[in-house]
Amino acid sequence: MPLFRTAEDWPRRPEALPAVSLLGRVLLGDPAEFDVVEAINVHMADADGRLQRIDRGLARRQWQELRAAYERIGVPVEVLPARPGLVDLCFTANPSLVLPLPDGGREAWLARMAHPSRQPEVALHEEFLAAAGIPLRRMPETVGRFEGCGDGLVHPGRHLLHAGVGPRTAEAAWQALAEAHPELDILVYELQDERFYHLDTALAPLSETCALYVREAFDRDGLELLQAAFPEAIAVPLHEALRFACNAHCPDGRHVLIERGCARAASEMRRRGFEPIELETSEFRKSGGSVFCLKLAF
Ligand code: ARG
């Protein structure tokens, strides 16, 4: 039974699990079509229900800074070309999840997007991943929603997955993954707060022992589980998490790409030897995403 909901029921700890390699490359999505045209999460409209307005020129400049930051630290970047009408295609974290395996291989699970407007993105990921030579897996028909690595976070360096259940991913998805990989430990978190609608808005794995997280997104079981998996986890204050501090990405165990202005998260990380790279992602935050959402690690 490799799905675990409480720290008490989880008999192992990360150091006892098979090692896997880090996913060292990223796929970004060209933001040429990026826009907010319907509010599919609470960040996309203001208090009066008016849709956020995107400055597309600024969005492109922010995206180019993100791309340049990855390249500067030696992370190879691939780009998914824009497609007419696919306004969220730049959020490449959602249409698939790449899982590193203990034998050194990897496999990609294709998403079942919760909103029809995003479903066409999945075929584009399928094409990209097939060309990259990564074996593809599909969820059974009975899985209603599964949004890739928005809700499935690989534990750095170990055969262990942190799995969110909420508005975008159904528990059935994690059961399907567990059946395919009985040797994989999957820790299941119920998302509690609609502002943290994907697990990647609430928890950012940084290393084998450290992660950023926001308390408000989790129930007690979830908090105990993540603290057991990441004994040095850093609780980020709510106001920083609402700036998407927990949507940071650490591709190499050292550099952490994170939204600018999350002072507490940045100083706690520096104290532990990480090097935060602060980036402005204001235009993408208006759509409910920041750094982690803007990339697929593969
Ligand atoms: N507007 C997009 C959506 O609601 C944002 C996706 C952000 N992605 C993420 N992994 N949190 O689907």
Q: How far apart are CA 10 and CA 171, in angstroms?
A: 17
Annotation says 198 is catalytic = yes
Render pLDDT for 96-151 as a digit per residue (tens, 0 to 9). 999 999 999 999 999 999 999 999 999 999 999 999 999 999 999 999 999 999 99
Give the 3-state secondary structure of residue 99: strand
Closest ligand 1 atom number to CA of residue 41: 4
Task: Let me know: does 252 contact 75? Beta carbons within 8 Å.
Answer: yes
Parallel, antiparallel or unpaired: strands 3-4 and 185-190? parallel
Which CATH number does the domain housing residue 202 bear? 3.75.10.10
Task: Let me know: does 19 contact 183? Beta carbons within 8 Å.
Answer: no
Order of strands, edge to edge, in the sheet holding 152-154?
3-4, 185-190, 160-165, 152-154
Q: How far apart are CA 167 and CA 161, in angstroms?
A: 19
Best of 198, 281, 291, 295 to mutate for ligand 1, by most ligand atoms within 8 A of CB? 198
Render pLDDT for 2-15 as a digit per residue (tens, 0 to 9). 899 999 999 999 99
Task: Let me know: does 100 contact 23? Beta carbons within 8 Å.
Answer: yes
**Residue nearest atom 9 in ligand 1 by C-alpha distance:** 293
Parallel, antiparallel or unpaired: strands 136-138 and 106-110? parallel
pLDDT at 292 over 70: yes
Q: How far apart are CA 132 and CA 117, in angstroms?
A: 26
Q: Quick one: pLDDT at residue 1?
A: 58
Domain count, the chain: 1
Residue 35 Cα to ligand 1 middle (Å) = 12
Annotation says 239 is catalytic = no
Residue 12 Cα to ligand 1 middle (Å) = 32
Render pLDDT for 230-285 as a digit per residue (tens, 0 to 9). 999 999 999 999 999 999 999 999 999 999 999 999 999 999 999 999 999 999 99
Closest ligand 1 atom number to CA of residue 93: 10
State the pTM of this model: 0.97
Residue 141 Cα to ligand 1 middle (Å) = 23
Closest ligand 1 atom number to CA of residue 118: 12
Q: How far apart are CA 276 and CA 257, in angstroms?
A: 6
Q: Which two tokens stand for residue 82?
A: 């824009």
Task: Let me know: does 144 contact 135? Beta carbons within 8 Å.
Answer: no
Of 198, 246, 249, 262, catalytic = 198
Give Cβ neighbours of residue 210 (< 8 Å, ≥ 6 apart): 230, 232, 233, 234, 272, 274
Task: Let me know: does 96 contact 103? Beta carbons within 8 Å.
Answer: no
Task: Let me know: does 81 contact 52? Beta carbons within 8 Å.
Answer: no
pLDDT at 173 over 70: yes
- Which residues does residue 28 pair with via DSSP β-bridges, in sequence order? 79
Give the 3-state secondary structure of residue 12: coil
Residues lining ligand 1, Cβ inside 6 A: 40-41, 88, 91, 93-94, 118, 150, 198, 200-201, 287-289, 293
The residue range of the domain holding 45 is 3-297
